[in-house]
Amino acid sequence: MAATHHVAATPETIHWGTFDASFKPVLEVESGDLVVMQCISGPPDVLAEAKELGLDIRPELVAYHASKPPRLGPHMLTGPVAVKGAMPGDTLRVDIEKIDLGAEWGYCGFRPLGGTLPEDFPYRKMLHILVDHEKRTGHVPIGPGITLPLAPFFGVMGVAPPAEWGGISTKEPRAHGGNLDNKEIGEGATLFLPVHVPGANFSAGDGHGVQGDGEVCINALEMCLTGHFRFTLLKDEKLAYPRAETPTHFITMGMHEDLDEAMKKSLREMIGFITSRTNLSPADAYQFCSLAVDFHVTQTVNGEKGVHGLLKKGLLF
């Protein structure tokens, strides 16, 4: 019978800004188990401003920053969680069964040299956005104030990269997943990740309350979230690149520093996905994609830009 586990956000269960195959798992579970992972978000400068505004700061954030952790990239990740029996060449299925809001506010900002238009906005600006848990909305303090419905998801979900990569920043999404920033992969969605090391070693973080495709100014609504992840090991599925699905769509992804190349990667992944499940030739699938698959710009701010393709379920299978 599948078990349920909990991983709290503590200095011992969080790693900041790095994926590394050498990281030891904080938990090992059986295939089919559910893991509830608490994830936190907020660097010291953002928390200092929140304190001046009288906003409540999660004690987990205070404790983590007090531990003076090492940092490479921008994201605080909970994990890694290992799945027994996972080996390189396998696929890890991650069902995101539920996402809980973890704070009363979040933030969105930009800074010099970052974002999609750094030449137009060579300064820093930060918004602290209040969140209504009951209504599942965020109040954006721009103009007269704008209320947005929330659609939470985790910007970063990934397994350990190949050992030969060493320690890599969480900023760039790659074949191990990581900073995908794909708003489609929220509650009720499933992410498929290729396994590169024994145990797979899954980590998550970079909670987003809501985001537009592109994530153009660097941030979404960055906030603390708690994810309910069910891990299933797939021994008979070989995957070279992350894929996902929602109740309504199959999703392929492409990442590259050149947005054109990211588009090509996502399209090739979709052609490969279609031909693996049908008797269509690659040429047939290419034409079908032009007729019926939607390709969206996922994000343009992570160095490796992203494009994701959406194939509506029921059109082919």
Give the number of residues written for the chain.
317
CATH 3.10.28.20 placement within the chain: 248-312
Residue-wise pLDDT tens digits, 122-159: 999 999 999 999 999 999 999 999 999 999 999 999 99
pLDDT band at 308 (very low <50, low <70, confident <90, very high): very high
Residue-wise pLDDT tens digits, 158-198: 999 999 999 999 999 999 999 999 999 999 999 999 999 99
Q: At CA 313, angle to CA 308 and CA 315, rounded to 5? A: 105
- The label of the residue with tokens 């890599």 reads 168
CA atoms in the 13 A half-sphere facing the CB of 111: 4
pLDDT at 237: 86
Q: How far apart are CA 214 and CA 192, in angstroms?
A: 22
Residue-wise pLDDT tens digits, 87-119: 999 999 999 999 999 999 999 999 999 999 999
Question: Would you give the DSSP letter of residue 58?
Answer: -
CATH 2.60.120.580 placement within the chain: 4-85+94-236
Cis before residue 80, ω within 30 degrees of 0? yes
Sheet order of strands, 146-149 included:
105-110, 125-132, 137-140, 146-149
Q: How far apart are CA 233 and CA 32, in angstroms?
A: 8
Q: What is the mean pLDDT of residues 220-238?
A: 96
pLDDT band at 236 (very low <50, low <70, confident <90, very high): confident
Q: How far apart are CA 102 and CA 204, in angstroms?
A: 14
Backbone angles phi, psi at 148, to 5 degrees: -115, 135
CB 227 within 8 A of CB 99: yes
Domain 248-312 part of CATH 3.90.180.10 = no
- Partnered with residue 168 across adjacent β-strands are 19
The helices-and-strands tally (H runs, E runs) of the chain is: 4, 21
Answer yes or no: is pLDDT of 1 > 90.
no
pLDDT at 83: 98
Residue-wise pLDDT tens digits, 57-74: 999 999 999 999 999 999
- Nearest Cα to Cα of residue 154 among 181, 190, 188: 181
Backbone angles phi, psi at 143, to 5 degrees: 55, -135
pLDDT at 9: 98
Residue-wise pLDDT tens digits, 247-298: 999 999 999 999 999 999 999 999 999 999 999 999 999 999 999 999 999 9
pTM of the model: 0.97
- Given the candidates 2.70.98.60, 3.40.1360.10, 3.40.50.170, 2.60.120.580, the CATH classification of the domain at 4-85+94-236 is 2.60.120.580
Letter for the amino acid at 4?
A: T
- Nearest Cα to Cα of residue 160 among 98, 83, 68: 83
Letter for the amino acid at 149?
A: P
Residue-wise pLDDT tens digits, 28-38: 999 999 999 99
